[in-house]
């Protein structure tokens, strides 16, 4: 579904990615892990066309999207759940969700389907987003991604700032997307929770992929995990 081939991405003259390659299959959950400043967010920004890729290419659903603009990439069926959620604070939940609806070649989720995953969402529809808790805002951000008809959802640090119980719910939701055939790329620093739901994992450091393999291997091999992630 997604193939990132040997990309190099720069901020001005500062190089952040040095030939990173990552693949996400259809209905596959892939985790991209690594320490602060490794280049994980830059990888997401490269996919979304927010930080230009100078070398290499990115294909999604068989199409080269490397030079497309961000809104064109969204229209192809890539949704994003940013680490800071980026909901419109002064709009209601209902309005935030209704403006997110769009047509792609993939299926747009109905509100009822979103309530099916997040039962509390229905009761929040009339609230302005600035009055929501972190966990509630995350529900809105994930629902917004699904209403946007994604074939691939990019999660940037989905557990950031959330209570452990809510992190578990978010991880369960990510697992549910797989059962719906949606592909997922999750960027995380707090690796352990995602290793329970991910199929495969890449570890990045200093803008390079330093490890790739099954998630279960990194979950169960504490020595390897300590070596790669220090946890």
By beta-carbon proximity to ligand ATP, the closer residue of 34 and 49 is: 34
Give me 182's structure tokens.
């949606």
Q: How far is the CB of 208 from ligand ATP (least distance, A)?
A: 11
Closest by CA position to 161, among listed 181, 135, 182 = 135
Instruction: Determine how β-strand 200-205 pairs with β-strand 53-60.
Output: unpaired
Q: Total residues contacting ligand ATP (rule CB under 6 A)?
A: 12
Q: Is 230 in the site for ligand ATP (CB under 6 A)?
A: no
Q: CA 53 to CA 194: how far, in whole Å?
A: 27
Q: How far is the CB of 113 from ligand ATP (least distance, A)?
A: 31
By beta-carbon proximity to ligand ATP, the closer residue of 76 and 208 is: 208
Touching ligand ATP, residues 147-206 (CB under 6 A): 189
By beta-carbon proximity to ligand ATP, the closer residue of 36 and 90 is: 36
By beta-carbon proximity to ligand ATP, the closer residue of 24 and 44 is: 44
Concatenated DSSP letters for 21-62?
Answer: EEEE-TT-EEEEE--TTSSHHHHHHHHTTSS-EEEEEEEETT
| Among positions 13, 14, 119, 230, the unique one binding ligand ATP when judged by CB under 6 A | 14
Mask: binding to ligand ATP, 23-52, rule CB under 6 A, as x and -? -----------x-xxxxxxx----------
- 11 DSSP β-pair partners: 14
Q: How far is the CB of 8 from ligand ATP (least distance, A)?
A: 12
Judge contact between 47 and 202, C-beta under 8 A.
no
By beta-carbon proximity to ligand ATP, the closer residue of 37 and 52 is: 37
Q: How far is the CB of 19 from ligand ATP (least distance, A)?
A: 14
Closest by CA position to 190, among listed 33, 47, 46, 8 = 33
By beta-carbon proximity to ligand ATP, the closer residue of 11 and 105 is: 11
Any idea what DSSP says for residue 135?
A: H
Give me 131's structure tokens.
């009055």
Q: CA 60 to CA 185: how far, in whole Å?
A: 13
Interface residues with ligand ATP (CB under 6 A)? 11, 14, 16, 34, 36-42, 189
């Amino acid at each position: 579904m997604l193939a990132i081939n040997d990309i190099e991405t720069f901020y001005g003259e500062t190089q952040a990615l040095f030939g990173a390659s990552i693949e996400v299959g259809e209905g596959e959950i892939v985790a991209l892990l690594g320490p602060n400043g490794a280049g994980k967010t830059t990888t997401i920004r490269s996919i979304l066309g927010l930080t230009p890729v100078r070398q290499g290419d990115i294909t999604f659903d068989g199409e080269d999207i490397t030079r497309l603009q961000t809104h064109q990439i969204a229209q192809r069926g890539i949704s994003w759940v940013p680490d800071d959620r980026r909901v419109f604070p002064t709009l209601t939940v209902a309005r935030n969700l209704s403006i997110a609806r769009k047509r792609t070649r993939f299926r747009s989720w109905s509100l009822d389907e979103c309530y099916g995953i997040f039962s509390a969402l229905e009761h929040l529809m009339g609230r302005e987003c600035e009055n929501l808790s972190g966990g509630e805002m995350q529900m809105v951000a994930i629902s917004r991604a699904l209403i946007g008809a994604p074939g691939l959802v990019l999660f940037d640090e989905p557990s950031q700032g959330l209570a452990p119980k809510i992190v578990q719910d978010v991880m369960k939701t990510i697992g549910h997307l797989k059962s719906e055939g949606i592909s997922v790329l999750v960027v995380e620093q707090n690796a352990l929770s995602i290793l329970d739901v991910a199929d495969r994992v890449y570890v990045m450091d200093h803008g390079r992929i330093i490890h790739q393999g099954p998630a279960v291997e990194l979950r169960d091999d504490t020595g390897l995990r300590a070596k790669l992630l220090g946890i």
